[in-house]
């Protein structure tokens, strides 16, 4: 097939991880869709405000609004998001054109030598200080180890790791997907991967979302070629629950849905009305996704 010379302008945040994601999609468009693309860096509110935790920043879409604005004013054609950052409702005129494969969805602890204790749960020393600005991670960490304390942590992945190495924390929590995609040298740190049934990830963690204009039919047809339907089957359930719980980065809600080798769907959810309140856990399985989100929601609201 002849290469389409009309370039797609991809909007991306400027971090190393965001650019890895944008380049991944750029390569997919070239190899599978035979379409050229170039990347335009756009800075978002979440990139600019680094001294305030997410729950204190007003509104939603900390890492997405400026990209969506660029789509609407036609500065870019395609926005690549970490799907866990993307609000569940797109602005009028925009749509979700597809999703990527799912990288390892787990959270993981990076623990310094001083914070490591092989005899304790999660391998954290007693009264450890754990860096994270996610209320979801704070709530689940306190549920598993109520002796530890959490301290806000902002910045891109390398910046967060640097702060750990500088001794500001005994450990930090990061998404495993970002570490794998960046392929960083972490040989001086201990890594503890957190099982998603016990420490439930953010909805759609590890998945990239491809957002475009509804009117751009030609691009939407191309995105169908790189869209991962089986991944979407699971993230649709996760995000339906998130939307019903009016969720975002400010809500202590973890949801993880996966399909086993026999075609059955399993879901884990963990939610807390507040960081200092008891965590509610729900687990459900069934042969289809039909009604699965509603079933989990009824259990969460019943508790």
Give me the DSSP letters along 49-110: --SS-GGGS-SS-TTTHHHHHHHHTTS-SEEEEEGGGS-SSPPTTEEEEEEEEE----EEEE
Dihedrals φ, ψ of 35, to 5°? -130, 130
For residue 46, the model assigns a pLDDT of 55
For residue 278, the model assigns a pLDDT of 87
User: For 144, left (φ over 0), alpha (ψ -120 to 50), or beta?
Assistant: alpha
Domains and CATH numbers, the chain: 4-100+206-227 (3.40.190.10), 107-193 (3.40.190.10)
Tokens 């957190």, residue located = 194
Are 124 and 114 spatial neighbours (Cβ–Cβ below 8 Å)? no
- CA dist 217 and 80 (Å) reads 18
Are 214 and 71 spatial neighbours (Cβ–Cβ below 8 Å)? no
Tokens 């999660």, residue located = 122
- Could you read off the pLDDT tens digit of each residue along the chain, which spans 303 residues? 455 657 999 999 999 999 999 999 999 999 999 999 999 999 876 555 444 444 444 445 567 889 999 999 999 999 999 999 899 999 999 999 999 999 999 999 999 999 999 999 999 999 999 999 999 999 999 999 999 999 999 889 999 999 999 999 999 999 999 999 999 999 999 999 999 999 999 999 999 999 999 999 999 999 999 999 999 999 999 999 999 987 655 678 999 999 999 999 999 999 988 777 889 999 999 999 999 999 999 999 876
Dihedrals φ, ψ of 222, to 5°? -65, -40
Q: Is 146 helix (H, G, I), strand (E, B) or coil?
A: coil
Closest C-alpha among 36, 34, 10, 6 to residue 22: 10
For residue 63, the model assigns a pLDDT of 76
Dihedrals φ, ψ of 24, to 5°? -60, -45
For residue 50, the model assigns a pLDDT of 47
Active site residues: 85
Q: Is 197 helix (H, G, I), strand (E, B) or coil?
A: coil
- CA dist 116 and 31 (Å) reads 44
């Amino acid at each position: 097939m002849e290469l389409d010379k009309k370039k797609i302008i991809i909007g991306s945040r400027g971090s190393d991880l965001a650019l890895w994601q944008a380049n991944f999609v750029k390569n997919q468009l070239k190899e599978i869709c035979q379409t050229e693309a170039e990347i335009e860096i756009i800075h978002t509110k979440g990139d600019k405000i680094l001294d305030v935790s997410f729950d204190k920043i007003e509104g939603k879409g900390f890492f997405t609004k400026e990209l969506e604005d660029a789509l609407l004013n036609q500065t870019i054609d395609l926005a690549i998001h970490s799907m866990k950052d993307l609000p569940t409702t797109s602005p009028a005129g925009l749509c979700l054109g597809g999703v990527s494969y799912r990288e390892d969805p787990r959270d993981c602890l990076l623990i310094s030598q001083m914070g490591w204790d092989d005899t304790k749960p999660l391998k954290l020393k007693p009264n450890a200080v754990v860096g994270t600005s996610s209320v979801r991670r704070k709530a689940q960490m306190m549920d598993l180890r109520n002796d530890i304390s959490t301290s806000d942590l902002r910045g891109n992945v390398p910046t967060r790791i640097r702060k750990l190495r500088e001794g500001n924390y005994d450990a930090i929590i990061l998404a495993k997907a970002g570490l794998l995609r960046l392929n960083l040298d972490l040989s001086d740190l201990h890594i503890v991967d957190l099982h998603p049934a016990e420490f439930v990830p953010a909805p759609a963690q590890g998945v990239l979302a491809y957002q475009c204009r509804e009117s751009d039919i030609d691009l939407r047809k191309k995105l169908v070629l790189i869209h991962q339907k089986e991944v979407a089957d699971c993230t649709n359930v996760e995000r339906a629950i998130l939307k019903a719980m009016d969720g975002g980065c400010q809500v202590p809600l973890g949801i993880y849905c996966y399909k086993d080798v026999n075609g059955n769907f399993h879901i884990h959810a963990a939610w807390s009305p507040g960081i200092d309140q008891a965590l509610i856990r729900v687990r459900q399985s069934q042969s289809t996704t039909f009604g699965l989100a509603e079933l989990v929601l009824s259990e969460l609201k019943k508790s």
